[in-house]
Amino acid sequence: MKLVSLYVLYIFSGILIYFFGPMEYADHNKLLTFFYILNCYLLLFFGFFVGSKSFHLNISKKEGRHASPSKELKLFLFSSVITIFFNSYVIYDLYQNILNSGLDKFGAGAIYYLNLNSEKETGIITMLMTLFSPLSFISINIGVKLYRSLKFNHKLVLYFVVISSLLSYLLKGTNFGIFIVVINILISSYIYSSGVKISKLKSLLIALLLPMFVSLFLYNLGSRLNIDYIPSTIAGVEINRDHFIFNILPVQLSLPASVAGSYISQGYYAVSLMFNYNFDSTLGFGSGYFLLGKFSNILGDDFFKYTYQYKMDELWAYRTQWHTAFVWLSNDFGYYSVFILCFIFGVLSSVVYKDAKRNKGIVSTTLFAVISIILVFIPANNILMSNPFIFMTFYSLFIIWILRTKVYIKC
């Protein structure tokens, strides 16, 4: 599976950056940390293998039948209108917030900290955005699937969905939304284009778009840092100024690249700290910010005080540093339980991928795109239980998929 090979390379790069990159983390349980994260990933990959070999799909003709193109087009237009409406609201609200703050220039860094310091609840709008969040994923997915047959005005609708989605996150000064949109497009394109010969022009277009995406990502980071020299520390982590990356690249590139590398590596430092603290179970409610906040309010108990993030906050700030999905999942039933969860999620990922690849259904393909986002963010965060949009999208699609798909084990 090509995707697994790419993911292995991605994970290996993060581990390599953590141990040998320009960010010099304090020496806490490094050997134990290495073997722990190695076991987590090995079990995840073993789950991929078991899911691809031992779990099979049994879809009847009725269950496997796809919706007609006309019905898919109607769903695309409906979901696109809803998505554009909410994105427009977010863009307008953020733009007004920026104007009211008196910012004289639109730097990603200034905007990011402005929104970080002025987070507010928007009541019914926030709840509706969360409830309808699966439609934003579905609209892009169907748009990619039907792209060849879409009329010009329908293609414009798809462009508006993508652009408004990107703007709604760029105005927050965060790169998170860029990853969501780009990964959704890439995974959908990969699934639907399998078996279809890609022209040289499209290959060239993809080759040009990827550097543009990387450049935009690095620009946002550079703007947020807002410095043109190599500092001694970034976010409390010491920088090795003699590292080779600073000798081969200018500061404007090497510094954002180093910080970008820390996105997929710094969470492992939280893993190394985790072993220094006693375990207090959060009873299944502590695996992400979203879940913690909701159940703490419902049950009247602050579950956050039992988490590893709370305990290590003086050494590794929970609001500004990454902790990996492994630390978040460990809050519930201990760090050894993560081994089982990695294996199960690996199996699920493989089975959903198999269904999407074989049947090219909207639900399975969109669900696999969301799973891909979760997998990409494992080195940084448990995005599934921390982001309400990912949470709602994953579980709503998963319930629909599991009800429509019969999976059986064949040893």
Please name every residue paired with 408 in a beta bridge, in sequence order, or none if there are none. 56
- Least-confidence region, from 15-24, 37-46, 171-180, 218-227: 218-227
Longest dimension (CA), the chain: 65
Residue 195 pLDDT more than 70?
no
pTM as predicted: 0.89
φ and ψ at residue 102, rounded to 5 degrees: 80, 20
Separation of alpha carbons 128 and 119, rounded Å: 18
Separation of alpha carbons 270 and 29, rounded Å: 11
More confident residue, 271 or 256: 271
pLDDT in tens, 42-93: 999 999 999 988 877 765 444 444 678 889 999 999 999 999 999 998 888 8
Residue 260 pLDDT more than 90?
no
Q: How many residues does the chain have?
A: 411
How large is the average pLDDT for residues 287-292? 90
How large is the average pLDDT for residues 21-30? 88
How large is the average pLDDT for residues 37-43? 98
Q: Tell me what pLDDT residue 96 has.
A: 76
Rounded to the nearest 10 degrees, what angle do helices 388-404 and 362-376 cross at?
Answer: 140
Bridging pattern class, strands 23-24 and 237-239? antiparallel
Q: Are 396 and 380 in contact (CB under 8 A)?
A: no
Q: Are 59 and 405 in contact (CB under 8 A)?
A: yes
Half-sphere exposure of 159 (CA within 13 A, CB side): 7
Q: Are 291 and 388 in contact (CB under 8 A)?
A: no
Q: Tell me what pLDDT residue 198 has.
A: 57
Separation of alpha carbons 136 and 393, rounded Å: 9
Separation of alpha carbons 288 and 282, rounded Å: 11
pLDDT in tens, 122-168: 568 888 999 999 999 999 999 999 999 999 999 999 999 999 999 88
Q: Taking all residues of the chain, what is their mean pLDDT, rounded to a whole number?
A: 85
Residue 261 pLDDT more than 90?
no
Residue 219 pLDDT more than 80?
no
Separation of alpha carbons 142 and 154, rounded Å: 11
Q: Are 347 and 47 in contact (CB under 8 A)?
A: yes
Q: Tell me what pLDDT residue 409 has.
A: 61
How large is the average pLDDT for residues 271-293? 93
Q: pLDDT confidence of 225, banded at 50, 70, 90?
A: low
Q: Are 159 and 190 in contact (CB under 8 A)?
A: no
* CB proximity list for 214: less than 8 A, separation 6 or greater: none
**Percent of all residues in the chain with a pLDDT value above 70, rounded to a whole number:** 81
pLDDT in tens, 309-344: 999 999 999 888 999 999 999 999 999 999 999 999
